[in-house]
C-alpha cells in the first residue's frame, strides 16, 4: 500500500530528472584550426590554450596528405612505414591528457590517391579533388585502428581511443570537394557517397564503437551548378545522400547564418531557425539519427568568404543565445562546435583576436562550456 501511495510521486520525480537531462541539450565545443598545421614544438601551447577555454570536446582536422605523403604498401596497417602519424599521436595524446574529446574530420588527399594525380589548386593548401574511394577507405581503417584504444606506439605507448570520424569537410562546396558539377549535372553527391560507403565498414572493422559522421554540409542555402560559388544547397545535399541509402551513424551540418540566433523570421537553411526542419529531414534517413553541428559561429570582420560581420559584443550575445536555444535542448544534438578558437585573416570568428587577446565571447564560451554532462554519445 505504501509503495502504491508513493508511486505517482516517484514517477513525477523521475520525469523531472529526465526532463532536466534533456533540457541540458548540446554542449559547447570549439575548434582550433592552428593545431593541424602547427609544428610539434608549437602543439603543447595550442593544446593548453584549448584547455584554458574550458572546452571538453573539440573538432580536429586530419590532413590525409600529411599523414600519407607517399603511398603505403599496406594501407590499412597503421604501422606501415609510409605513414607519418607523429603529429596526430601528439595531438590525440595531448587531448586525452587534458580530458578533451576529439571529433576527427578527415580530408585533403595526397596526390597519389587522386585519379590523374591532381593536387591543390594554385593558392590553396587543401586538395579538394575526389580521391579513389578504396584508398580512402583503407586510410580510414588505418586511422581508426591506430586510435581504437589498443594500439601501442613505440614513442607514446598506448594511444587513446578516438570514436568520432567525420567523412570530409563541407563536401557540398567547390572549395573543399571537386567536381561538384560537370555540364551542369551533379557529380559530388554520388562521389561523396562512394567515400562514405568505402569508409564505413572499414572504420567499424577497426573499432566497433566508432561513430561515423557523414554529410558535413557547408552553409549553403541554394544549389549553384555554375560560378565561383558552385555547390549543392543544404537540403538538396541532405536529400541526395538520403536517396542513396548509404549507411552511417550521424549527420553533421555547419551553421553560419547572417541572422541572429533568435530571429524567427528567416527562412534560410541552414540557420538556427531551421533546426527542426533539419531534424525532420534527417529522420527520413533514420528516425532519431543524431545531428552534430560541427562548425558554427559569427565573424567580427569581413572576409573573402563572408559578406556579413557582427560586433564583438554581438558575437558574445549570439554565442550565449545559441546555447540557450530551445531547439538544441534535445539529446539528438549532442554538440555545437564554435569555429574557431582564434581569428585568422580568412576567418575572424575566433574567441580570441589574431594577436591572442580575448574577445568578450571567450568569457561567454567558458561560462557555457562546463555546463551539463558530456552526452554518452560523445564519451570515449
For 87-110, the DSSP string reads: HHHHHHHHHHHTT-EEEEEEE---
Indicate the SS3 state at residue 78. Answer: coil
Q: Hey, what's the cell of 51?
A: 584547455
Distance CA 207, CA 193 (A): 21
Overall pTM > 0.75: yes
Phi, psi of 324 (to 5 degrees): -115, 5
**Is 179 buried (19+), middle (13-18) or exposed (0-12) by CB count in 10 A?**
middle
Read off φ and ψ for residue 27, nearest 5 degrees.
-90, 160
Over the Cα atoms of the chain, what is R_g? 21
Closest CA to 60 of 27, 94, 111, 83: 94
End-to-end, the C-alpha distance of the chain in Å comes to: 44
Q: Residue 297 region, left (φ>0) first, then alpha (ψ -120 to 50), else beta?
A: left
Burial code (b: 16+ CB inside 10 Å, e: under 16) for 273-290 equals bbbebbbebbeebeeeeb
Nearest 5°: phi and psi at 244? -80, -15
Per-residue confidence in pLDDT tens, the chain, 380 aa: 343 344 333 333 333 333 333 345 799 999 999 999 999 899 999 999 999 999 999 999 999 999 999 999 999 999 999 999 999 999 999 999 999 999 999 999 999 999 999 999 998 999 999 999 999 999 999 999 999 999 999 999 999 999 999 999 999 999 999 999 999 999 999 999 999 999 999 999 999 999 999 999 999 999 999 998 999 999 999 999 999 999 999 999 999 999 999 999 999 999 999 999 999 999 999 999 999 999 999 999 998 888 899 999 999 999 999 999 999 999 999 999 999 999 999 999 999 999 999 999 999 999 999 999 999 889 88
Give the start-to-end residue ranges of the domains of the chain: 26-372
Q: What is the pLDDT of residues 298-347, one digit of tens each?
A: 999 998 888 899 999 999 999 999 999 999 999 999 999 999 999 999 99
Calpha distance 104→163 (Å, rounded): 9
Contact 233, 220 (CB under 8 A): yes
Are 111 and 122 within 8 A, CB to CB? no
Instruction: Provide DSSP, 158-194.
Output: EPPB--EEEESS-TTBTTTSB-SEETTEE-HHHHHHH
Residue 193 burial (C-beta neighbours within 10 Å; 0-12, 13-18, 19+): buried
CB-CB contact of 106 with 165 (8 Å): yes
Helices (H), the chain: 2-24, 40-52, 64-67, 86-97, 133-146, 188-206, 234-244, 275-283, 312-322, 360-369
52 Cβ contact partners less than 8 Å away, ≥ 6 residues apart? none
Q: What are phi and psi of 338, to 5 degrees?
A: -75, 135
The CATH number corresponding to 26-372 among 3.20.20.80, 3.40.50.720, 3.30.450.40, 3.40.1080.10 equals 3.20.20.80
Q: Let me know: does 323 contact 281? Beta carbons within 8 Å.
A: no
Amino acid at each position: 500500500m505504501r509503495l502504491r501511495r508513493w508511486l505517482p510521486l516517484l514517477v513525477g520525480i523521475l520525469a523531472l530528472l529526465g526532463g532536466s537531462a534533456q533540457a541540458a541539450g548540446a554542449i559547447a565545443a570549439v575548434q582550433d584550426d592552428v593545431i593541424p598545421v602547427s609544428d610539434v614544438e608549437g602543439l603543447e601551447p595550442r593544446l593548453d590554450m584549448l584547455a584554458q577555454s574550458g572546452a571538453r570536446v573539440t573538432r580536429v582536422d586530419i590532413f590525409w596528405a600529411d599523414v600519407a605523403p607517399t603511398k603505403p604498401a599496406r594501407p590499412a596497417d597503421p604501422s606501415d612505414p609510409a605513414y607519418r602519424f607523429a603529429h596526430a599521436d601528439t595531438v590525440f595524446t595531448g587531448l586525452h591528457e587534458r580530458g578533451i574529446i576529439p571529433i576527427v574530420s578527415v580530408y585533403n588527399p595526397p596526390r597519389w590517391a587522386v585519379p590523374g594525380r591532381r593536387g591543390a589548386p594554385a593558392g590553396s593548401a587543401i586538395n579538394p579533388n575526389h580521391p579513389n574511394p578504396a584508398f580512402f577507405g583503407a586510410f580510414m581503417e588505418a586511422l581508426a585502428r591506430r586510435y581504437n584504444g589498443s594500439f601501442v606506439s613505440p614513442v607514446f605507448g598506448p594511444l587513446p581511443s578516438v570514436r568520432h570520424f567525420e567523412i570530409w569537410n563541407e563536401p557540398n562546396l567547390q572549395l573543399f570537394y571537386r567536381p561538384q558539377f560537370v555540364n551542369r549535372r551533379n557529380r559530388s553527391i554520388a562521389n561523396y557517397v562512394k567515400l562514405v560507403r568505402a569508409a564505413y565498414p572499414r572504420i567499424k572493422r577497426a573499432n566497433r564503437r566508432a561513430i561515423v559522421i557523414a554529410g558535413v554540409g557547408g552553409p549553403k542555402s541554394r544549389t549553384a551548378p555554375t560560378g565561383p560559388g558552385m555547390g549543392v544547397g543544404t537540403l538538396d545535399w541532405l536529400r541526395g545522400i538520403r536517396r542513396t541509402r548509404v549507411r552511417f551513424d550521424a549527420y553533421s551540418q555547419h551553421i553560419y547564418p547572417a541572422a541572429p540566433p533568435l530571429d524567427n523570421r528567416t527562412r534560410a537553411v541552414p540557420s538556427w531557425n531551421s533546426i527542426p526542419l533539419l531534424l525532420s529531414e534527417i529522420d527520413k534517413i533514420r528516425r532519431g539519427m543524431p545531428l552534430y553541428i560541427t562548425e558554427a559561429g559569427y565573424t567580427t570582420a569581413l572576409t573573402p568568404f563572408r559578406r556579413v560581420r557582427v560586433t564583438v559584443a554581438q558575437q558574445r550575445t549570439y554565442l550565449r543565445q545559441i546555447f540557450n536555444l530551445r531547439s538544441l535542448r534535445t539529446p539528438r544534438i549532442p554538440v555545437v562546435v564554435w569555429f574557431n578558437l582564434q581569428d585568422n585573416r580568412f576567418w575572424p570568428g575566433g574567441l580570441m583576436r589574431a594577436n591572442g587577446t580575448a574577445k568578450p565571447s571567450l568569457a561567454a564560451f567558458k561560462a557555457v562550456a562546463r555546463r551539463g554532462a558530456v552526452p554518452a554519445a560523445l564519451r570515449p
